[in-house]
Amino acid sequence: MKAGKVFLVGAGPGDIGLITVKGLEAIKQAEVILYDRLANPKLLDFAVDDCELIYCGKLPDRHILRQENINDLLVEKALAGKTVVRLKGGDPGVFGRVGEEAAALVQYEIPFEIVPGISSGIAAPLYAGIPVTHREYAESFAVVTAHDKSKEGKPLLDWEGLARSVDTIAFYMGVGNLPFICENLLRYGKPSTTPVILIQWGTFGRQKTLQGTLADISAKVLEEKFSNPAIILVGEVIALREKISWFEKKLLYGRQILLARTSAGPSELARELMDQGADVIEFPKWKKVKLPINLAKVTSYEKIFFASPENVAEFFTTVIESGMDIRKIRADFYGASIKSIKALKERGVIAKLSEEMPESGDLLIVGDDSTLKKEYRNADILITSKKELDFKFVPIFKRMLEEADIDTVVFPSSGSVEPFVEGLRECGISAEELLTNVQVVSMGNQTIDAVMDFGLRSIGMPKKATKEALVEFLAAKQVEDV
């Protein structure tokens, strides 16, 4: 069997918008993805439904998979003819052990590519308002490992060179060794007043910072119980933070939102919330399973109504694959929403909204919404696909919950409540327990009623059921105990 190919991809520091175009394309074509703890799990949403996902996460006190096992898996999957992505947080060449993985692939003559990513040591400071170089403050910059593979884990570095010759130093994953770092920089000449900042979960909405000096930062870390993952930045350039801090000024910065989902496609609402600085976890994760479609009677209808843009795509794909001449379909076309109308227009079909549909005439509904059948009792329904909970994302969702501190849950529609509660139950999680001391926001009166039907409590709703109104509502509502 011909060997597959491996892409060793840098996922960037956290914000999914910071992955490279080439890295994203690799994810989209992957048949197997081995991903790290610090690679944002939301990037896995771009993988195909049947992609195999393997977690290789590492914590300071334990390894899910050791590096040797990861190397073996890369080789095994590639030799089976698979397209494999190794997804690593930040840049794979900066403390990412990509050299070891590439060497293992070379040994078996497996083709591979290395796709660079944005390193956390540069990105996290920028999201905290700090460029690592500046003509007036810093003309040199170094990235340094804050621990090594020795028994004590304390790195053997040229401390004198770092202290005397480098203006800005970024230490990776070194919170546990911070006193050791400060002690050595002070010993070799760095002033005790030198600014230090720790940036935890850099570029995520949950990003936190802790600022001090070489003299007092270690005590502050103990007091605040600050922990990894964090970048430690040392240098006078930190003074710029007061002038050019930008990320922390976003309307929803610091919000950690759990968004109830009803569709399998990308969410514009989630995108807007993230653009405004929030962390967003979407649940449940759905996948669509295509169903066989019988087009025998499709030419006999006078009206065809599409319940969603996805149904439009599925219907026309089937028509094309069947070899049917589209001109034989003489029905007038209608859509449930502006998005459905737009999807039809992109297919060269002029359609109208359902409100303009006459009562007379044989009607075919393309979709799977049972409420439509109740409204149009004499219609036939053509179901193009069915939606299923994607269970391979359940452990991913649980890990995301463990590392987040959810303060807000958003239900965008009444139909999102039951799948959310049932999906949590499938995960072994009680919705009532999860939403204790969490702000529950409902988009509309019907949604509030649905939330209350499940014994949950909503703090209210935005003025309109739009993403802009939701952002305004959340920005005005301070996160507090419920």
Q: 3.30.70.100, 3.40.80.10, 3.40.50.10090, 3.40.50.280: which CATH number matches 256-287+389-476?
A: 3.40.50.10090
Q: Which fold has domain 292-383?
A: Rossmann fold (3.40.50)
Look up residue 210 and give its two tokens: 């802790």
Give percent of the chain above pLDDT 70. 95
pLDDT value, residue 378: 80
- The region that residue 81 occupies, defined by phi over 0 for left and psi between -120 and 50 for alpha, beta otherwise, is left
Q: Tokens at residue 395, please?
A: 């452990």
Going from N- to C-terminal start, the domains of the chain cover 5-117, 122-247, 256-287+389-476, 292-383
The pLDDT, as a whole number, for residue 481 is 43
CATH superfamily label, 122-247? Tetrapyrrole methylase, C-terminal domain (3.30.950.10)
Question: So what CATH class is 5-117?
Answer: alpha beta
Q: Nearest Cα to 279, choosing from 180, 382, 410, 168?
A: 410
Collect all residues with Cβ–Cβ distance below 8 Å to 218 and sequence separation of at least 6: 178, 179, 182
Residue 462 Ramachandran class (φ > 0 left, ψ -120 to 50 alpha, else beta): beta
Q: Where are the alpha helices (DSSP H) in 47-168?
A: 67-79, 98-107, 120-127, 159-165
Angle at 368 between CA 441 and CA 343, to 5 degrees: 80
As annotated, the active-site residues are 36, 58, 173
pLDDT tens digit sequence for 457-473:
899 999 998 999 999 99
pTM of the entire structure? Answer: 0.86
Angstrom distance (rounded) from CA 255 to CA 413 = 21
Percent of the chain whose pLDDT exceeds 90: 75
- pLDDT tens-place string over residues 226-275: 999 999 999 999 999 999 999 999 999 999 999 999 887 788 999 999 99
Q: Tell me if domain 122-247 and domain 256-287+389-476 are identical in fold.
A: no
